Amino acid sequence: MEFLPLFHNLRGSRVLVVGGGEIALRKSRLLADAGAVLRVVAPQIEDQLRELVLGSGGDLMLRGYQEADLDGCVLIIAATDDEPLNAQVSSDAKRRCVPVNVVDAPALCSVIFPAIVDRSPLVIAVSSGGDAPVLARLIRAKLETWIPSTYGQLAGLAARFRAQVKGLYPDVQQRRAFWEEVFQGPIADRQLAGQGDEAERLLIEKVNGAPPYAPGEVYLVGAGPGDPDLLTFRALRLMQQADVVLYDRLVAPAILELCRRDAERVYVGKRRAEHAVPQDQINQQLVDLAKQGKRVLRLKGGDPFIFGRGGEEIEELAAHGIPFQVVPGITAASGCAAYAGIPLTHRDYAQSVRFITGHLKNGTSDLPWQDLVGPSQTLVFYMGLIGLPIICQQLILHGRAADTPAALIQQGTTSNQRVFTGTLADLPRMVAEHEVHAPTLVIVGEVVVLREKLKWFEGAQSQV
Ligand code: SAH
């Protein structure tokens, strides 16, 4: 091991930074975050750096470096682009046995800055010993995605009970078991879901020796339109901890793959006009499984609150007092539009966008056609494949120009994505000429021409 990782308490201690530019600013920010009192020496100092130094209660020295600047400092940073000067600062510091860091010169350093994941009080440091800082940063980025931003609050919660638990369980094994249960069970779940008060209440119960509290919970999670890269961090985390997964046809297999390996999987269908499991039975199943103490993942295509009947499901859960959390997903309109190169709004073409169900219950009568033909609005029809001829015909009949651009996107964001563009007058015929597979989304409005203008092509998204 070339460098031993240590965490340095700098609060109230003076740190010297030699240099007044961008890099000095970056290092100084970190030091100020850790509570250091900054001393910055440079002939010229950037305004932001000045403010930072004064804010830290430190001193600015607008001149060249002198060895005496090291006096009283517990850590030295050389951040200039003058190599001989950096080397001088390093040797002065080493002679005085004060830790020194020279930016981008590992050989001159006695200490180095790691890449940091900050979930204070939990802090993770990653270092390559200065050999491959980019690699360390990439690893940090991976850790950032694995560790929810609320982890710090979880550590904070544990800190508040640490002494009490230590008193309760003098034996270290018992104590470890106690905290493992806390960090892997419903208490951590609540805290990570932002329900700090509830987490604290449960922890108090646990400390007071209440019987293990193991309520089930339902995660209503939006899985996005198809590309697994479009999942949110929270969705992925809950997918990996749920005991049982109830999913629809719309959830792509590649996404289902990411659920915990040993989780039970239940297909609850939902094909147009063919509901494999009726909605009230799905609701009931969620309630029953949660009552058995299971962590139930209700995984839905797109966003659960957009044509997803998510509202009905949580109504039922609320009626039974079952805890739940809802995780938004990228809805088909956003995903398909982005991957097809069609901005849904645009200063010159559309000032509003509407998401509409194209599932026409009574033929034509149940959509407010008159409202849909106004200028400068983009219309997005979900579930509009079967009704496409009627939708286009009604829009024209009610006054939207027959040459209004329109697009149909099949299996948007997946490797099977296909996009058909035309006008209200000819899109239905174009689509009828091809074998089109569900799910499909229809976008109507002038913004559709931007796809041509942007010279968008299939796969463009994966090229950028
Ligand atoms: N909750 C989902 C929508 C459910 S309704 C969401 O927010 O996206 C089902 C309809 O969504 C489908 O009929 C289709 O119109 C649309 N849809 C979902 N995923 C799609 C995809 N990958 N490509 C095109 N349309 C999609």
Average of per-residue pLDDT across 31-59: 96
Give residue-wise pLDDT tens across range 98-146. Answer: 999 999 898 999 999 999 999 888 899 999 887 888 898 899 988 887 8
CA of 323 from ligand 1 middle (Å) equals: 27
pLDDT at 263: 92
Average of per-residue pLDDT across 178-193: 87
How far is it, in rounded angstroms, from Cα 118 to Cα 232? Answer: 20
The domain defined by 1-113 folds into: Rossmann fold (3.40.50)
CATH class (in words) of the domain with range 336-454: alpha beta
Residue 71: active-site member: no
Rounded to the nearest angstrom, the gap between the alpha carbon of residue 397 and the centroid of all alpha carbons in its chain is 43
Structure confidence at residue 464 as a pLDDT band (50, 70, 90): very low
Give residue-wise pLDDT tens across range 397-428. Answer: 999 999 999 999 999 999 999 999 999 999 99
CA of 332 from ligand 1 middle (Å) equals: 5
Omega before residue 121 within 30° of 0, cis: yes
List the structure tokens of 149: 């931003």
Find out whether 83 is annotated in a ligand binding site: no
List the structure tokens of 336: 């398909």
Residues 6+ apart with CB under 8 A from 35: 10, 11, 12
pLDDT at 214: 57
Length of the chain counted residue by residue: 464
What CATH number is given for 149-208 in this structure? 1.10.8
CA distances from 147 to 188, 194, 263 (A): 13, 14, 21
Q: Is 206 exposed, middle or buried (0-12, 13-18, 19+ CB in 10 A)?
A: buried
DSSP H or E segment with residue 450: helix 449-453
How far is it, in rounded angstroms, from Cα 366 to Cα 456? Answer: 35
Structure-model confidence comparison of residues 420 and 462, the more confident one: 420
Give the pairing type, strands 377-382 and 440-444.
antiparallel
Residue 270: active-site member: yes
Q: Domain 217-327, what architecture?
A: 3-Layer(aba) Sandwich (3.40)
Structure confidence at residue 67 as a pLDDT band (50, 70, 90): very high
Give residue-wise pLDDT tens across range 228-254. Answer: 999 998 999 899 889 999 998 889 899
How far is it, in rounded angstroms, from Cα 112 to Cα 78? Answer: 12
**Is any ligand 1 atom within 6 A of the Cβ of residue 310?**
no
Average pLDDT, the chain: 91
Structure confidence at residue 330 as a pLDDT band (50, 70, 90): very high
CA of 441 from ligand 1 middle (Å) equals: 7
Of the residues 69, 92, 189, 248, only one is catalytic, namely 248
Give the pairing type, strands 405-410 and 418-423.
antiparallel
How far is it, in rounded angstroms, from Cα 111 to Cα 167? Answer: 38
**Residue 78 pLDDT > 70, yes or no?**
yes
How far is it, in rounded angstroms, from Cα 109 to Cα 79? Answer: 12
Are the CB atoms for 268 and 285 separated by under 8 Å? yes
**Is any ligand 1 atom within 6 A of the Cβ of residue 439?**
yes
> Which residue ranges make up each domain of the chain?
1-113, 149-208, 217-327, 336-454
pLDDT at 463: 42
Please calculate the CA angle 141-336-218 and round it to the nearest 5 degrees: 65
Q: Which phi and psi (to 5°) does residue 156 adopt?
A: -65, -40
